[in-house]
Structure 1
Amino acid sequence: MRFPARMYRILAAGAAVALLTLAIAACGGVDGDDDDSAAPAAPAATQAAAEATQAPSRARPVQAAATEAEAAEEAYEAEATAAAAQEAAADSGSCANCATARQQGSTNTTQAAASVSEPPSQRPSPGATTFQNYGRTPYVKTSTDAVSTFSLDTDRTSYFLALAWAQSGYAVEPDSVRAEEWVNAFSYDYDQPRDDRSFAITSDVVQHPLGGGRHLVRVAFQAPHVRDDVPLNVTLVLDASGSMSSGNRVAIAREAAEAIRNSLGSDDRIAVVHFTTDVIDWYTVEHSRPGNEDVAWSIGQLAPHNSTNVQAGLDLGVRLADEARRERPDAYNYVILMSDGVANVDTTNPFAILDSSPDTDHRNPLRLITIGVGIENYNDYLLEQLAQHGNGWYRYLDTTEQARETFSRENWLALSTPFADQARAQVTWDPSLVSSWRIVGYENRVTPDHTFEQNRREFAELPSGAATTAFYEVVLHNETRRGLATLGEVEVRWVDPRSGDTYSQAALLEGRTDAPFDAGDQHLRFGAIVALASDRYSALSVQLEGAKIDIAGLGADMTALRAELDSLYERMSTLQSYHDFSFLLERMTARVEELGGGSSGYSQ
């Protein structure tokens, strides 16, 4: 039996002193989670500058070669084995079956460590931050495989997390960079669809800004704005562990939770769960109207306590959400986890956490949204994977102002109104025109080609009005480089959230192969610079032991991309997003130069 929240308020004041005393005795304060025995495996030290000069040959940016065939051949030979392994791993089966394999992957946990190579302007990476090194997508010859299949993606956390790091004086961690999330962090002013039942698909072809006889192909999917007339069941799962005491994490989470509550309508329902070492029962509020005073009271009680049992919080959150779904079957259902992701009690693997509370109703799924807060002591990998395989999306919040803006009524109505579930795309290249190709980013979104026919939970949900952009680097046959050409076609498939029916839509990939890079509009050029810069910077991650990183080539690419960005100043300088990315690119370029020893100033 659960007593009303009002009764717990009477006890709360007296219990607070006792709880505080217990918390201090257990963890020596609330500077961090107290359960050392249940903590994750000891993190590896931050890579030293000398170590950062080694990486797999497939991580080396493809530089201008004597011919495009030489560049593609070099990349293909170096990457063929890795690509085959990646495809086999992706095809290994269901989420539950792949949990062990993924857990044993190359998760990279870093600790802040002093290094003589770090300049005063960029501190080492924050302590105890966990990212996953997904490698980099390889070049593939069309004679071997002319088809590229990937899940669409609207996440943008990787970019905003890197921006928060740089603005706090930290060097951006290469493993944190997922190029597709950088690209999709920006608006590109795409044309809107002709109706509210289909995408607007855009494609462009331009010559590569980094040369080498290559081209860039952009393909973009713009979802329509759809009516928000479906009621919502929202379950807030709030992290009340000790690590949330760092910085303003609790304030941000409270602000976001309150903004969501205020954005809900009278037909919506909201529940609240707090968790630390276990669920804090006296703060639990089952689904009620958003104006219910118990809901507001519970949100206001969020505070740091002990350890982090994400599994316990989500288990209860999913149970409450499922009960609300059965009572209100016509509503959309969202479970929103707000946390720094530092799980250290019970199950800490994202796939095992999802398996502990499986959602078997695929006709009206529970959509798991993860909201990350904090810089140091932060687990990006857990939060990103929970959202990707929980049929939801992932956001990062750095300030209370950002929390209010992200979940303002206008933004929340769009984010909480899905247009497409399980959305994925498949590009088929014409081998007579395209010699080789690689997708920029999307490393953990690439999927075996045959899965395109399947409806799978790990494929993305796209909210109303959302856009997804992908860039490809391609090498064309010589005879293709003259005028207008159709390089292939793209098909997108998705599930309608209301009816459960599957839809598909196709378009040609065409453009002028003789169009120089600066012939593209500012949005195309800006997006390409973002894609290539983030992709090149991620090459700093060590992927194969003993391999070398072409630091000089990487530095040349970053410098060239900075020059391209500077050329857009007059057109884009009124946008804050332009200045933010310009600052970030400057910091990343300086980091690459630093690892390469900098320039002597003399000619070669």
Structure 2
Amino acid sequence: MKPRLAFALLATLLAACVSTQSENPPSSQTATNTQAPSDPARTPTAPPAPAAAKVAETRSVSADMVRMIAMPAPILMQAPAPDRERYGALTDNPVKRVAEAPVSTFSIDVDTGSYSNVRRMLNAGRLPPADAVRVEELINYFPYDYAQPQDGRPFAVHTELAPAPWNSERVLLRIGIKGMDVAKASLPPANLVFLVDVSGSMNSPDKLPLLKSSLKLLVNELRPQDRISLVTYASGTQVVLPPTAGSDKATLIAAIDGLRAGGSTAGASGIQLAYTAAQQSFIPNGINRILLATDGDFNVGLNDTRQLKSLIEEKRQSGISLSTLGFGTGNYNEAMMEQIADVGDGAYSYIDSLMEGHKVLVNEMTSTLATIARDVKVQIEFNPAVVREYRQIGYENRQLAREDFNNDKVDAGDIGAGHTVTALYELTLVEGKPSVDDLRYAPQPPREGPLANELGHLKLRYKLPAASSSQLIDFALQRSAIKPLAAASSEFRFATAVAGVGQLMRGGKYTGDWGYAQARALAATNLGQDRFGYRGEFLRLLDLATALGTRPVQ
């Protein structure tokens, strides 16, 4: 039916209805008049309205109603869901004067979750909050072409020195660690427990469905000697699959496919059951690890991060490590995910896509599962005769007390097979312009002598996987090793570009006028082999960050 004809018929019907109502008053009105009659002597009777006036009134009402019907209905905009994502508060490491605090001590960090979480936000069209950006995790997301160990140790240590691109008066010290590679076939047997959150909060395409697809990628890489258990938690906990051989892939995949979301989130109970399951199938001298896959939104039972950390610290004494795989948005508790992986002697990863699931669970399977060195700590003593100030870039929540370095009871980060770890310091040499004024009455260090060319003394401590006492690596850092930025290695320059971007996303307190454009130019010329395309993707994310950033008014 044509629109004009439809409106004409509708107008006719409305006119008929209005005409009928005017000729037949409502019964309620008639009843009211009957109950309270008026006095005819006092109330004159109004003359009846002319027929023409009634017709005109009817037509006017009909036309108004037609116009109202013809008007488009207002669009009701649904308010966006509240963002309940939680991040731990971070404060940038300050500039320190060597004369007052010559020693810096920290734990290494192999987590990469911050990078993929930042990528998720940029792809969604928003810049990340500063506390979501941990610079060391951005740097360590990328593999670096550091040389393998040659001296029988589980990892090699490399250093490099060159000017900072954002401030030519500062020198960057890069400390690079390369873990020995272990072929997948050479790994010891694995006892893995998949601890999966199937609560109602996981009922979203970027949560449980993505989690299931990611775990199935890992199942396809397992060997006959590996054993996998599947534990779930929601309102309650359940062992969905007892220890099953890695060769029985059909059973494993069927169990994963059968997972459904619903209920509240009793995460602590799930963790306790997962440790029990792992202990029952413990493999001496093997890989014993829990993979906790969740959005971290624990809302039943124990849900305080400090209490959860205490629980996991006690459980790790059993020789079972715990790694976390984060999923989802909106209610994501990143602060908890990162911290419990830290105390669980594991690593934290955020899975924002199946490609990231493939990276973590397939491409980096040996690094994710096999530990080659535990409790790795780094300590540097800077020489006040050469270095006036220093600032560590990143690792804000990995700082240790000076005495913790020699205390083997103090927990620190672990290194997996093939892992690369990078740490950066920004140094101000004695002849450079300081950020902090010298103290008026402080003694001045001598600038001559046998140690005058040493920037500092670098020390590392680590434990072999089955050892309880640590071993020491130490050597001096020479001032003569400083080279121009253009002469530095491609790996140094790319890591520097990533470090600069991380600082910019956190507010750029120390980067001056250096911005995303300069960072992109530096990264673009140092992509290296980029076997998996991670560095090329970084350039595209930089373009998004530039487009989303606030520009000054011209």
> TM-score band, normalised by the shorter chain?
0.7 to 0.9
Distance of 2:172 and 2:511 partners within structure 1: 18
- Asked if residue 233 in structure 1 is aligned to residue 191 in structure 2, the reply is yes
Among 572, 576, 586, the residue aligned to 2:527? 572
Quote the residue 2:120 is aligned against: 164
Q: By how many angstroms is 1:131 displaced?
A: 0.7
Alignment gaps of 5+ in structure 2:
1-79, 433-446
Distance of 1:174 and 1:454 partners within structure 2: 33
Quote the residue 1:406 is aligned against: 360
Among 372, 382, 391, the residue aligned to 1:429? 382
Quote the residue 1:539 is aligned against: 507
Distance of 1:185 and 1:164 partners within structure 2: 14
In the TM superposition, 1:207-286 aligns within 5 A as 207-211=163-167, 213-226=169-182, 228-279=186-237, 281=238, 284-286=240-242
> For structure 1, which segment, 176-185 or 513-522, has the greater mean C-alpha deviation from structure 2 after superposition?
513-522
> For structure 1, which segment, 531-540 or 336-345, has the greater mean C-alpha deviation from structure 2 after superposition?
531-540
Distance of 1:569 and 1:538 partners within structure 2: 22
Among 480, 491, 495, the residue aligned to 1:527? 495
Inter-CA distance 197–381: structure 2 relative to 1 (3 Å threshold): same
Among 117, 140, 144, the residue aligned to 2:96? 140
Quote the residue 2:460 is aligned against: 492
- Asked if residue 352 in structure 1 is aligned to residue 311 in structure 2, the reply is no
SS in 2 for 1:385: helix
Q: By how many angstroms is 1:375 displaced?
A: 2.5
Q: Indicate conservation of the 8 Å contact 1:555/1:593, yes or no.
A: no
- Asked if residue 563 in structure 1 is aligned to residue 521 in structure 2, the reply is no
Q: Indicate conservation of the 8 Å contact 2:266/2:299, yes or no.
A: yes
Structure 1 length normalisation: TM-score? Answer: 0.70
Distance of 1:266 and 1:300 partners within structure 2: 21
Inter-CA distance 171–357: structure 2 relative to 1 (3 Å threshold): closer
Inter-CA distance 568–240: structure 2 relative to 1 (3 Å threshold): closer
Q: Indicate conservation of the 8 Å contact 2:92/2:396, yes or no.
A: yes
Quote the residue 2:392 is aligned against: 439
Q: Deviations over 1:298-326 (max 9, x none)?
A: 2121221011121111110011112222x
Distance of 2:315 and 2:295 partners within structure 1: 27
Quote the residue 1:584 is aligned against: 541
SS in 2 for 1:584: helix
Quote the residue 1:97 is aligned against: none
CA RMSD of aligned residues (A): 2.6
Quote the residue 2:264 is aligned against: 307
Distance of 1:456 and 1:585 partners within structure 2: 41
> For structure 1, which segment, 169-178 or 396-405, has the greater mean C-alpha deviation from structure 2 after superposition?
396-405
Q: Indicate conservation of the 8 Å contact 1:425/1:452, yes or no.
A: yes
Q: Deviations over 1:135-188 (max 9, x none)?
A: 110111111111111111111111111112111212222110000001101122
Inter-CA distance 498–125: structure 2 relative to 1 (3 Å threshold): farther
Q: Deviations over 1:238-293 (max 9, x none)?
A: 010111112332122112222223322222211111111221x3x52222322445
Q: Indicate conservation of the 8 Å contact 1:125/1:171, yes or no.
A: no
- Structure with bigger gyration radius: 2
Quote the residue 2:297 is aligned against: 342
Q: Deviations over 1:476-532 (max 9, x none)?
A: 11199xxx9431121111111134442221233235476332221222111112112
Quote the residue 2:155 is aligned against: 199
Quote the residue 1:459 is aligned against: 412
Q: Deviations over 1:443-494 (max 9, x none)?
A: 00011111111235641111011111011011111199xxx94311211111
Inter-CA distance 358–405: structure 2 relative to 1 (3 Å threshold): closer
Q: By how many angstroms is 1:404 displaced?
A: 3.2
Distance of 2:413 and 2:81 partners within structure 1: 30
Q: Indicate conservation of the 8 Å contact 2:289/2:322, yes or no.
A: yes
Distance of 1:493 and 1:252 partners within structure 2: 38
Quote the residue 1:186 is aligned against: 142
Quote the residue 1:331 is aligned against: 286
Distance of 1:125 and 1:187 partners within structure 2: 37
Q: Indicate conservation of the 8 Å contact 2:493/2:526, yes or no.
A: no
Inter-CA distance 131–357: structure 2 relative to 1 (3 Å threshold): closer
Q: By how many angstroms is 1:571 displaced?
A: 4.8
Quote the residue 1:102 is aligned against: none
Distance of 1:570 and 1:430 partners within structure 2: 34
Distance of 1:290 and 1:251 partners within structure 2: 22
Count of residue pairs the alignment pairs up: 452
Distance of 1:201 and 1:296 partners within structure 2: 41
Distance of 2:528 and 2:492 partners within structure 1: 16
- Asked if residue 516 in structure 1 is aligned to residue 473 in structure 2, the reply is no
Quote the residue 1:94 is aligned against: none
| Deviation >6 Å, runs of 4+ | none
Among 331, 347, 366, the residue aligned to 1:377? 331
> For structure 1, which segment, 393-402 or 176-185, has the greater mean C-alpha deviation from structure 2 after superposition?
393-402
Distance of 1:514 and 1:305 partners within structure 2: 58
Q: Indicate conservation of the 8 Å contact 1:261/1:290, yes or no.
A: yes
Distance of 1:570 and 1:448 partners within structure 2: 39
Inter-CA distance 529–599: structure 2 relative to 1 (3 Å threshold): farther
Inter-CA distance 411–572: structure 2 relative to 1 (3 Å threshold): closer
Q: Indicate conservation of the 8 Å contact 2:166/2:513, yes or no.
A: no
Q: Indicate conservation of the 8 Å contact 2:312/2:343, yes or no.
A: no
Structure 2 length normalisation: TM-score? Answer: 0.76
Q: Which amino acid letter does the alignment assign opposite residue 390 of structure 1?
A: G
Among 389, 394, 406, the residue aligned to 2:343? 389
Q: Which amino acid letter does the alignment assign opposite residue 390 of structure 2?
A: W
Q: Indicate conservation of the 8 Å contact 2:85/2:333, yes or no.
A: yes
Inter-CA distance 286–417: structure 2 relative to 1 (3 Å threshold): same
Among 347, 367, 370, the residue aligned to 2:321? 367
SS in 1 for 2:300: coil
SS in 2 for 1:508: strand
Q: Indicate conservation of the 8 Å contact 1:206/1:516, yes or no.
A: yes
Quote the residue 2:31 is aligned against: none
Q: Which amino acid letter does the alignment assign opposite residue 416 of structure 1?
A: L
Identity fraction in percent: 25
Inter-CA distance 413–218: structure 2 relative to 1 (3 Å threshold): closer
